[in-house]
Amino acid sequence: MDIVNSRLVVFFIASFLVTSCSTNDTVEDYSTWAYYAGTKEGNRYSSNDQINVDNVAHLQISWTYSTNDKDPANRSEIQCNPIVVDGILYGTSPRLKLFAIDATTGKQKWIFSPPTDVVDSEYGVGLNRGVVYWQDKHGDHKRILYSAGTKLFAVSAADGQLIADFGKNGIIDLRDNLNRENTENMSLASTTPGVIFNDILILGTRVSEGDGALPGHIRAYNVMTGEMEWIFHTIPHPDEYGYDTWEDKDAWKKVGGANSWAGMSLDKKRGIVYVPTGSASPDFYGGDRKGTNLFANSIIALNAATGKYIWHYQVVHHDLWDRDIPANPNLVTVVHNGKEIDALAQVTKQGYIFLLDRTNGKPLFPIEERPVPQIALPGEQPWPTQPIPTLPEPFSRQKFGPEDVSDLSPETHKELMERYSQIKHRLPFTPPSKDGGWMFPDFGGGAEWGGAAVDLETKVLYVNSNEVPSSLIMIDMPEIKVDNSSAYSRGNAVYNMNCVTCHGPELKGNGPDYPSLIDLEKRFNIRQVKDIIDNGGNRMPSFKHLQENEKDDLIAFLLRLSTNDKVGSVDKGAEVASERPPAQTSMTKRAPYIMTGYNRFTDKNGYPGNKPPWGTLNAVDLNSGKLLWKVPLGEYEELTKQGIPVTGTRNYGGPIVTEGGLIFIAATRDEKIRAFDKTTGKVLWEAKLPAAGYATPATYMLNGKQYIVIACGGGKLGTNSGDTYVAFSLPD
């Protein structure tokens, strides 16, 4: 199959003629931070140089701002990359409140709380990574567009009030207009902000990754009215390009995913939006979705005004490993073979960078379709090859052999080697099996949603990476035998259909991001569990689509309720063990196999089971494709005190790069923010944060002073939750 469609020329010319003269903001200002990732090009780059390699050591806290709505049980996060417009900083809180503060003092101007009928959860409704600002050409209308849960809000930038003539009283339900039936209780959110082109907002979504998921179609909305302007089907309908990449010709009716949860980038001059997508559902078994599965795991170039297809490049065919594209692409002009080329650089979970000509999607360096293992579960049909870039060089290590098993101590090495030998397959892109295979980098990447920064002067890309292993093991879908007289038995069936992938068949989970559910009744009551099922939180999506009797039974199973306990204290008043027909699942079909969980390979102390570094910051020259340097990112101080070189830690959140010669990044579980010399990778400054900064910083100039600001939300990797934004600047 051709990876790049040859019919792009007509679409591209039409797109250019229609839109190149209609965009009025073609000159980019790199001294402020008015968009998610800095600019619509997504480069996390700043021209500010007041803070530089010579004075960064003198940085001090300029202001802090707290929303005071963190979850005291440490399950909330802030992943927001705030924006700054006309001296006002806009961001979101752990409970997904939207706020406006003075960007020089941190003093609050207003705060908007989503309506209680929309956000009715004690623990929030998931995540938000940023917001979008828009104003008309005359400045008469200024608004913030942002998402919380299933809803898109239009809020006045002046006073924080909903704009009544947008959508329905200022709100759009993102489950509408997906060309599917019965979507009202399905899992969906928009975690990463979209992009604005002229007067439309182009938006992607996060959806469930299991059976019965919603499709991830890309939609554009009029920013004044909320009316949908266009839709692009990421799972193609009949007669649409890509439809023939699905063996099941009804896939468009029932397969979900292929969604863009990671953000987009916009070439304003050409009027092209570049959309990265994730895998089709379910994640780890594709026997019911045979084919390459366009437009899953693809970079898609669309006419931003109309949504018309221009070109695509698929980075994983028939994904069986949850190798979603995790971040927006970087749009940068590189020098290749002596010529300047407008390019697109896409970082991936695999640790690869796909460098493409952004006018036509053709690779700048050769990308080889290499044969991959084909031994698979019955009913599965893996794609025989996968695309591997020859350059740029990978920024993550690509193998996990026995020689790479951690040897922090002889005892842990012996124990880890015994467990290592139990997993049979070691080659990348080995199809999931009951024998197990290694994911390295593991499920989260490699690159993750924090994305990459590109220095527009030197064309060097900076990206942080997790270089830790996990195992992928499949089992037969647990047989569902329902004793109709037992709510516990019915709830066990619901658990096996919906929860076992993350929390495991024995409810043990795996680490703080996939917590154990054993003895849940000692930590939660009925109302709290019902609340989490309906609204999700952090990595967990909403399961509101389950029928009420399914939820009752699941609660009975999780909390080990007796016949005298009433789930009705939260809902309908029915005894959990009352007689009723067996629970009917909302999914029409289940995959025959399921994974045992996201099995992180760690030693008894919780350290990754491979040799360090475990988290890295990397510099890649996009002109030459060469990896310039790799340094550890993050520290376990207790290991450093033992004389072990700095190991790096797991990290979530991205870097920014400035003309002051610096890379700023937090992201680490040691709750620090750091400044690195962008030429050498040397740490020049670090500061302890009130909670881990699992977000991307922002930087801006106001009143002659440069600020660096980071959201400190914690809540991942076993760290405490926070609700504070911290800004740093040089002393007066």
Please state the three-class secondary structure of 327-341 as a single string: CCCEEEEEEECCEEE
pLDDT tens digits along 622-666: 999 999 999 999 999 999 999 999 999 999 999 999 999 999 999
Q: How far is 725 from 90, CA to CA, in rounded Å?
A: 11
- Omega into 613 within 30° of 0, i.e. cis? yes
Q: Which residue has the higher pLDDT, 484 or 415?
A: 415
- pLDDT for 122 equals 52
Q: How far is CA 556 from CA 481, 492, 520, 540, 579, in A?
A: 16, 9, 11, 20, 14
Angle at 120 between CA 118 and CA 121, to 5 degrees: 130
Q: How far is 240 from 225, CA to CA, in rounded Å?
A: 28
Instruction: Please give the span between the terminal C-alpha atoms of the chain, in angstroms, as a whole number.
Output: 61
Q: Which residue has the higher pLDDT, 513 or 431?
A: 431
Domain that holds residue 510: 478-590
pLDDT tens digits along 167-194: 999 999 999 999 898 888 888 999 999 9
Give the CATH number for residue 568: 1.10.760.10
Mean pLDDT of 101-106: 98
- pLDDT for 503 equals 85
What percent of the chain has pLDDT above 70? 89
- pLDDT for 1 equals 44
Q: How far is 98 from 481, CA to CA, in rounded Å?
A: 46
Phi then psi for residue 549, to 5 deg, are -70, -30
The answer on pLDDT for 63 being more than 60 is yes
pLDDT tens digits along 235-262: 999 999 999 999 999 999 999 999 999 9
- Residue 336 belongs to a domain: no
- pLDDT for 210 equals 86
- Residue 211 belongs to a domain: no
- Mean pLDDT, the chain, integer: 90
DSSP string, 103-138: TTT--EEEEE---TTTS--TT-SS-----EEEE-TT
- Residue 64 belongs to a domain: no
- pLDDT for 190 equals 94
What's the pLDDT band for 508 if we cut at 50, 70, 90? Answer: confident
What's the pLDDT band for 509 if we cut at 50, 70, 90? Answer: confident
Q: How far is 452 from 263, CA to CA, in rounded Å?
A: 12
**Which of these, 356, 360, 440, 430, lies nearest to 391 by C-alpha position?**
356
pLDDT tens digits along 364-408: 999 999 999 999 999 999 999 999 999 999 999 999 999 999 999
- Residue 86 belongs to a domain: no
- pLDDT for 588 equals 46
**Which of these, 263, 240, 226, 202, lies nearest to 19 by C-alpha position?**
202
β-pairing, 593-595 vs 474-476, is antiparallel
- Residue 408 belongs to a domain: no
The answer on pLDDT for 132 being more than 60 is yes
The answer on pLDDT for 576 being more than 60 is no
Report how many domains make up the chain.
Answer: 1
**Which of these, 606, 598, 668, 600, lies nearest to 633 by C-alpha position?**
668
DSSP string, 382-398: --SEEEEESSSPPSS--
- pLDDT for 16 equals 40
- pLDDT for 14 equals 40
- Residue 579 belongs to a domain: yes
Mean pLDDT of 157-166: 98
pLDDT tens digits along 418-445: 999 999 999 999 999 999 999 999 999 9
- Residue 582 belongs to a domain: yes
β-pairing, 721-729 vs 60-66, is antiparallel
| Residue type at 121 in one-letter notation | S
- Residue 344 belongs to a domain: no
